[in-house]
């Protein structure tokens, strides 16, 4: 009897361990799925070299992404609304954009000319009369896939090779800059035009991780050319021998981005490689081009169906599935990245991106500034 009882308890204990292992594996797989979709992550975590991390306090955990949205808190739906219901949100965003563009005090931050640089960002789908302005680090890969399908190169987004999406010589997506002036004017005045934004500071964190920490597409110029140039100019103390080894710190990156005058030489030196942190205003000229819709990464589950419907293509193509929670604003992550950075440097950074915050209804990050 005693031996049977002992075997019984051993069996229960083994089952308990199996359940714990399964729970851990499931949680890990869920985390990886989200990380891969949003950041194309490698095996590294998002701990930042050279940045002090602090444990989030209970109060910050309560202020989770779901309580903060792209236009204002009332826009966060408790349940998925219909496309018709979401139209009012989309219209208010366009109205806000127009209103901020008229604010003369922000003109230097919001108004740019429609230059070749801007036209190079805009992809064209003539077949369905659509223009899409690319704003890196907000999930543009998926929208490019949608346009590639609409252009007829592939029947579904799932069949498009990842290597093709960003190969602008082969993906069949012409840029607006490739057309004649009168053709450009015609398309700008008659086509459905849209682009996507996300919280400006969270976008900068994504750009830093993708280009200087993980670099999954192997773009060596970020680590070997741009990073050393930023370190030499903006790291307060460094030795040439250890700069490359330690890598670019987020603090260096912030100091560079907030230097209104000094960074221009670096920007000119590295050309279009800097588009991953250029402001939305500089990328898409939203005060000069009258966009039909502006989607927000934080509410992409609602914005994607609305944009497809408004453009008249919802019966032709579907937006790729979005893993649960991937689009939410993550205040805890923002706090951790900025935890070791001086208020002066954060305020300078905000001064540069204030136009993006205001144009698209993102609240000022007072929890970092004050």
pLDDT exceeds cutoff 90 at 2: no
3 state SS for 251-262 = HHHHHHHCCCCC
Report the pLDDT value the prediction gives residue 19, as an integer from 0 to 100: 52
| Rounded Cα gap, residues 108 and 104, in angstroms | 8
Highest mean pLDDT among 43-47, 53-57, 243-247, 336-340 belongs to 336-340
Residue with tokens 């976008």: 203
> How big is the chain by its Cα radius of gyration, in Å?
23
Q: DSSP characters for 8-21?
A: HHHHHHHHHHHHHH
Query: Contact at 8 Å (CB) between 112 and 285?
Result: yes
pLDDT exceeds cutoff 60 at 302: yes
| Rounded Cα gap, residues 327 and 330, in angstroms | 9
Name the β-bridge partners of 295.
196
Which run of H or of E encompasses 192?
strand 192-197
| Rounded Cα gap, residues 88 and 106, in angstroms | 26
Query: Contact at 8 Å (CB) between 331 and 67?
Result: no
Query: Contact at 8 Å (CB) between 116 and 177?
Result: yes
Query: Contact at 8 Å (CB) between 207 and 276?
Result: yes
pLDDT digits (tens, 9 = 90+) for 145-156: 999 999 988 888
Report the pLDDT value the prediction gives residue 325, as an integer from 0 to 100: 87
pLDDT exceeds cutoff 50 at 28: no
The model's confidence at residue 231, banded by pLDDT at 50, 70 and 90, is: very high
Q: Which residue has the higher pLDDT, 11 or 107?
A: 107
Q: What is the mean pLDDT of residues 143-171?
A: 88
Burial 348-366 (b: 16+ CB within 10 A, else e): bbbebbbbbbbbbbbeebe
Average pLDDT, the chain: 81
Q: DSSP characters for 82-133?
A: PHHHHHHHHHHHHHHHHHHHT-GGGHHHH-----HHHHHHEEEEGGGTEEEE
Report the pLDDT value the prediction gives residue 370, as an integer from 0 to 100: 87
The model's confidence at residue 315, banded by pLDDT at 50, 70 and 90, is: very high
pLDDT digits (tens, 9 = 90+) for 34-48: 333 433 333 332 233
Structure tokens at 98: 């127009």
Q: Which residue has the higher pLDDT, 33 or 214?
A: 214
Least confident of 70-79, 188-197, 293-302, 342-351: 70-79
3-state secondary structure of 312: coil
Q: Which residue has the higher pLDDT, 246 or 73?
A: 246
Biggest distance spanned by C-alpha atoms of the chain: 93
Kindly tell me the sign of the dihedral angle through the C-alpha atoms of 17, 21, 23, 24.
Answer: positive
* Percent of the chain topping pLDDT 70: 75
| Rounded Cα gap, residues 286 and 298, in angstroms | 19
Name the β-bridge partners of 122.
133
pLDDT exceeds cutoff 60 at 222: yes
Distances (CA, A) of 187 to 100, 193, 291: 25, 9, 12
pLDDT exceeds cutoff 80 at 241: no
pLDDT exceeds cutoff 70 at 183: yes
Report the pLDDT value the prediction gives residue 170, as an integer from 0 to 100: 80
Report the pLDDT value the prediction gives residue 5, as an integer from 0 to 100: 57
pLDDT exceeds cutoff 60 at 96: yes
The model's confidence at residue 344, banded by pLDDT at 50, 70 and 90, is: very high
pLDDT exceeds cutoff 70 at 53: no
Domain boundaries, the chain: 58-362
Q: What is the mean pLDDT of residues 232-244?
A: 66
Report the pLDDT value the prediction gives residue 69, as an integer from 0 to 100: 44
Report the pLDDT value the prediction gives residue 262, as an integer from 0 to 100: 83
Report the pLDDT value the prediction gives residue 263, as an integer from 0 to 100: 85
Least confident of 37-41, 59-63, 261-265, 275-279: 59-63
Q: What is the mean pLDDT of residues 228-244?
A: 72
Query: Contact at 8 Å (CB) between 123 and 112?
Result: no
Q: DSSP characters for 293-328?
A: EEEEGGGHHHHHHHHHHHTT-TTT--PPP--TTTTS
| Rounded Cα gap, residues 43 and 137, in angstroms | 19
pLDDT digits (tens, 9 = 90+) for 113-134: 999 999 999 999 999 999 999 9
pLDDT exceeds cutoff 80 at 105: yes
Report the pLDDT value the prediction gives residue 174, as an integer from 0 to 100: 93
Pairing of strands 293-296, 192-197: parallel
């Amino acid at each position: 009897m005693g031996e049977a009882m002992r075997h019984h308890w051993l069996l229960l204990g083994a089952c308990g361990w199996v359940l714990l292992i399964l729970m851990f594996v499931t949680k890990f797989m869920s985390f990886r799925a989200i990380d891969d979709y949003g950041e194309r992550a490698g095996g590294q975590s998002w701990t930042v070299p050279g940045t002090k991390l602090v444990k989030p306090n209970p109060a910050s955990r309560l202020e989770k992404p779901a309580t903060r949205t792209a236009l204002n808190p009332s826009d966060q739906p408790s349940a998925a609304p219909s496309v018709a219901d979401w139209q009012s949100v989309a219209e208010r965003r366009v109205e806000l954009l127009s209103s901020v563009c008229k604010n003369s005090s922000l003109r230097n931050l919001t108004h740019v000319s429609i230059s070749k640089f801007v036209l190079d960002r805009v992809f064209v789908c003539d077949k369905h009369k659509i223009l899409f302005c690319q704003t890196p680090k907000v999930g543009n890969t998926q929208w490019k896939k949608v346009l590639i399908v609409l252009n007829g190169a592939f029947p579904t987004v799932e069949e498009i090779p990842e290597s093709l999406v960003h190969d602008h010589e082969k993906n069949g997506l012409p840029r607006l800059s490739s057309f004649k002036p009168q053709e450009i004017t015609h398309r700008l005045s008659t086509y459905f035009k849209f682009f996507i934004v996300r919280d400006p500071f969270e976008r900068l964190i994504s750009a830093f991780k993708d280009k200087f920490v993980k670099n999954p597409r192997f773009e060596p110029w970020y680590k070997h050319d741009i990073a050393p140039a930023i370190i030499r100019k903006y790291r307060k103390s460094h030795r040439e021998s250890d700069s490359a080894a330690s890598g670019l710190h987020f603090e260096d990156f912030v100091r560079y981005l907030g230097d209104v005058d000094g960074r221009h030489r670096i920007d000119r030196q590295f050309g279009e490689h800097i588009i991953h942190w250029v402001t939305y205003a500089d990328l898409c000229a939203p005060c000069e081009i009258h966009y039909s819709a502006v989607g927000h990464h934080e509410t992409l589950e609602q914005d994607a169906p609305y944009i497809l419907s408004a453009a008249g293509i919802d019966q032709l193509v579907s937006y790729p599935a979005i893993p649960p929670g991937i689009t939410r604003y993550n205040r805890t992550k923002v706090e951790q990245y900025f935890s070791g950075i001086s208020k002066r440097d954060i305020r300078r950074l905000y001064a540069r991106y204030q136009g993006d915050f205001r144009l698209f209804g993102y609240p000022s990050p007072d929890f970092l500034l004050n």
